[in-house]
Amino acid sequence: MAEVSLRKLRKTYGTVVAVEGVDLEIAQGELVVLLGPSGCGKSTTLRMVAGLESISSGQLLIGGRDVTALEPKDRDIAMVFQNYALYPHKTIRANMSFGLKMRGTEANEFTRRVDDAARMLDITHLLDRKPGQLSGGQMQRVALGRALVRHPAVFLLDEPLSNLDAKLRARMREEIALLQRRIGKAMIYVTHDQVEAMTLADRIVIMRDGHVQQIGSPLEVYDRPANAFVAGFIGSPEMNLLEGELSGGKLALGGGVSIGAPAWLGAQQRPVTIGIRPEGLAISESGQPLSVRAIEQLGSQTLLIGELAGQRMRLMTGRRDDIALGSTVPVALPEAALHLFDRTSGERLGAGA
pLDDT tens by residue, 276-302: 999 999 999 888 899 999 999 999 999
Per-residue confidence band for 109, with pLDDT thresholds at 50, 70 and 90:
confident
Q: Are 274 and 339 in contact (CB under 8 A)?
A: yes
Per-residue confidence band for 351, with pLDDT thresholds at 50, 70 and 90:
low
Of 137-141, 242-246, 281-285, 297-301, the range with the lowest mean pLDDT is: 137-141
Q: Whole-model pTM?
A: 0.89
**Range(s) within the chain of domains with CATH label 3.40.50.300:** 4-233
Architecture of domain 240-342: Beta Barrel (2.40)
For residues 50 and 166, which has the higher predicted lDDT (pLDDT)?
50
Per-residue confidence band for 29, with pLDDT thresholds at 50, 70 and 90:
very high
- Asked whether the predicted pLDDT for residue 188 surpasses 60, the reply is yes
Phi, psi dihedrals of residue 50, rounded to the nearest 5°: -75, -20
Cβ–Cβ contacts within 10 Å for residue 196, how many? 23
- Asked whether the predicted pLDDT for residue 4 surpasses 80, the reply is yes
CA distance 87 to 132: 10
Handedness of CA 322, 324, 328, 332 (dihedral sign): positive
Provide the CATH number for the domain formed by 4-233 in this structure. 3.40.50.300
Residue 55: strand, helix, or coil = coil
Q: Are 66 and 60 in contact (CB under 8 A)?
A: yes
Least Cα distance to 61 among 236, 231, 228, 186 occurs for 186
**Mean pLDDT, residues 86-101:** 89
Cβ–Cβ contacts within 10 Å for residue 108, how many? 8
- Asked whether the predicted pLDDT for residue 350 surpasses 80, the reply is no
Per-residue pLDDT, 103:
82
**Mean pLDDT, residues 170-174:** 85
Report the half-sphere exposure of 167 (CA within 13 A, side-chain side): 0
CA distance 182 to 330: 49
Q: Are 230 and 237 in contact (CB under 8 A)?
A: no
CA distance 311 to 81: 41
Phi, psi dihedrals of residue 69, rounded to the nearest 5°: -105, 5
CA dihedral 263, 267, 271, 276 (to 10 degrees): 0
- Asked whether the predicted pLDDT for residue 3 surpasses 50, the reply is yes
pLDDT tens by residue, 40-76: 999 999 999 999 999 999 999 999 999 999 999 899 9
**Mean pLDDT, residues 185-189:** 94
CA distance 213 to 202: 17
Per-residue pLDDT, 86:
87
- Asked whether the predicted pLDDT for residue 1 surpasses 70, the reply is no
pLDDT, the chain, mean:
91
Task: Give, rounded to a whole angstrom, the gap between the first and last alpha carbons of the chain.
Answer: 29
Residues composing the chain:
353
pLDDT tens by residue, 123-135: 999 999 999 999 8
Nearest 5°: the CA angle 114, 151, 162 is: 80
**Residues paired with residue 108 on neighbouring β-strands, in sequence order:** none
CA distance 4 to 26: 5
Of 8-17, 212-221, 263-272, the range with the lowest mean pLDDT is: 263-272
**Mean pLDDT, residues 2-29:** 94
Q: What percent of the chain has pLDDT over 70?
A: 99
- Asked whether the predicted pLDDT for residue 352 surpasses 80, the reply is no
Per-residue pLDDT, 243:
93
Q: Are 274 and 313 in contact (CB under 8 A)?
A: no
**Mean pLDDT, residues 181-197:** 92
- Note every long-range contact of 297-303, with CB atoms under 8 Å and residues 24 or more positions apart, other chains counting: 297/321, 303/237, 303/278
CA distance 85 to 203: 28
Q: Are 237 and 66 in contact (CB under 8 A)?
A: no
